[in-house]
Structure 1
Amino acid sequence: MKRWLALPLALLLSSPALAEIRGEEVRYSADGVNLHGYIAWDDSVSGPRPGVIVVHEWWGHNDYVRDRARQLAALGYTALAVDMFGDGRTADHPDNAGAFAREVAQNADIRRSRFNAAMDVLNAHPTVKNDQLAALGYCFGGSVVLNMAREGAPLAGVVAYHAGLASPVAAQAGVTQSRVRVFNGAADPMVPPEQVAAFEAEMRASGVDFAVVNYDGVLHGFTNPGADAFAERFGLPLGFDEAADSDSWAQTQSFLQELFAQ
């Protein structure tokens, strides 16, 4: 698969610990659709390291998902913030966001093709240990990484934050190999308790190594500092929660360390 790289972005972050973080825009494609990603890594770390795919919310590939990629790079991983909508499209209204998300969510071939193309890009990066990959996903992106895991994508583990857990795809013993972690807001009306219970039953039936963390009183979008602004602007049941965001990120770090401890 061909890969196009733009010029490196001039990223010199304020924290000394992040001073060696580099970032590049990447151009790749799937089934004739141009995709706009962003890859970040710590240039001061020698040798190949695990790679982490980061899948955006239904707002599309924006600064938030790039920030997450840089945070992962600061932890010693190479992270690729992907584009699941094509042409780097982002939404500025829930109507557009929903339309973009449905285009992918309702077509497994599109979702699979675009995600697999991203895995190829990440595996091809010179800083990445081939086939040592994990994936994180937020909201829409959380559903994407869960479905890729359900289908047996070669991912050591996946983490989903405030993600829809219902799916026409079911995890299966012998197919689903990824370890799974889910962080959910217990007050999220988009992911009701019965959906969480059904997901847990599905995971147990398939023998998947999984854990679900529910945060009391926490709404959808709790990891995104911009959630409150979206909620006010569009009347959506969203809300950033600093404690839940901090705890889920700490647990994610521990989980990634466990996945790749060798």
Structure 2
Amino acid sequence: MRMLHTWCAGTLLFAQSVFSAGQALAAEDQPLINRLEGPQVITETVTYRANGEEHVGLIARDAKAKGRRPGILLVHEWWGLNSYARKRAEQLAGLGYVVMAVDMYGGGRTAEHPQDAKAFSSAVMGDWPKAESSVNSALAVLRSRPEVDGERMAAIGYCFGGGVVLNMALSGAPLKAVVSFHGSPGIAVKDPKAFAGRVVIQNGEADSLVPQEGLDSLLATFKSLNTRATLIQYPGAKHAFTNPESNAKGAKYDLPLAYDAAADAASWQVMLNLFNEVFKSPKTSPQP
């Protein structure tokens, strides 16, 4: 695994330790009997308005968990809020987080063909003020949940969604951490701001859809803003390496996509270790 370490002495130490053994938040916070029985993940559809449009998101949480827990905003790939994004939300909920999978396209729209996905995602990133308003509306919904500790929140994104959360960091969003998985490095924010949290960018070294010069420019921007950012690149991994459906979609539409189980597992653990670090104190906040 190749790593580029940028800005802040602590970043290097963090990147060197990302594969150390770590427990998920739920394992620390939940009574032993609940851990033995397993979580009870439930999901609910939530509609919210942004820019005068209705958006259809998803909340996933563990019904057994007690107290206020960290909230995670999850932004989908360019295909939209589909079954893959929902699965990831449920996985995180099973670890004790309250997760909101957002709908960046409005109306719950998803795309099957790459041409539609490109049109949807380009329209969003072509108007960052509108996109920022949309994600901020979703953040407000998540923060308002009684189960969520509004002081402990993070955002993750995949592909298109990775680009969205990276631009959230560049906008100075009130988050503890941002994690991008094979995300676009394009900077849509016209006036980038310092980000107080941690930024981790995880990319495949063989990803032909994410240019190295774009990643280098992004890292340089974060450094200029005194923002703590780390890039981790996985040898041999191609675009969309976290999604088991990538091989089939790549073959169907002649796209350079491929699932990589090792990179998927490693990048997931990197994210969990980061969350354990930024959310470690306090563990939970009591509900009023």
Please say whether Structure 1 and Structure 2 have the same fold, judged by a TM-score greater than 0.5. yes
Distance 1:168 1:62, change over 3 A: closer
Q: Which residue of 2 aligns with 1:80?
A: 100
Q: Which residue of 1 aligns with 2:166?
A: 146
Q: Which residue of 2 aligns with 1:237?
A: 256
CA contact (8 A) 1:162 1:221 kept: yes
Asked if residue 184 in structure 1 is aligned to residue 190 in structure 2, the reply is no
Q: Which residue of 2 aligns with 1:216?
A: 235
Runs (4+) of structure 1 moved beyond 6 Å?
none
CA contact (8 A) 2:205 2:234 kept: yes
Q: Partners of 1:138 and 1:16 in 2: how far apart?
A: 31
Match of 2:152 among 105, 116, 132: 132
Could you tell me how far 1:176 is from its partner in structure 2?
2.0
CA contact (8 A) 2:55 2:107 kept: yes
Aligned partner letter, 1:213: I
Distance 1:190 1:75, change over 3 A: same
More displaced 10-residue stretch of structure 1: 208-217 or 88-97: 208-217
Residue pairs, 1:1-262, within 5 angstroms: 18-169=38-189, 175-262=194-281
Could you tell me how far 1:102 is from its partner in structure 2?
0.9
Distance 1:165 1:65, change over 3 A: same
CA deviation profile, 1:169-191 (whole Å, cap 9, x unmatched) = 37856x32221001001111111
Could you tell me how far 1:197 is from its partner in structure 2?
1.8
Q: Partners of 1:19 and 1:161 in 2: how far apart?
A: 25
Unaligned runs of 5+ in 1: 1-14
Instruction: Please give the secondary structure, in 2, of the residue aligned with 1:24.
Output: strand
| TM-score of the aligned structures, taking structure 1 as reference length | 0.90
Q: Partners of 1:171 and 1:209 in 2: how far apart?
A: 18
Distance 1:17 1:242, change over 3 A: farther
CA deviation profile, 1:144-202 (whole Å, cap 9, x unmatched) = 001011011111110001011121437856x3222100100111111122222222222
Instruction: Please give the secondary structure, in 2, of the residue aligned with 1:218.
Output: coil
Higher relative contact order (Cα pairs below 8 Å, separated by 6+ residues)? 2
Give the RMSD, CA atoms, in angstroms: 1.6
More displaced 10-residue stretch of structure 1: 46-55 or 190-199: 190-199
Q: Which residue of 1 aligns with 2:285?
A: none
Distance 1:18 1:71, change over 3 A: farther
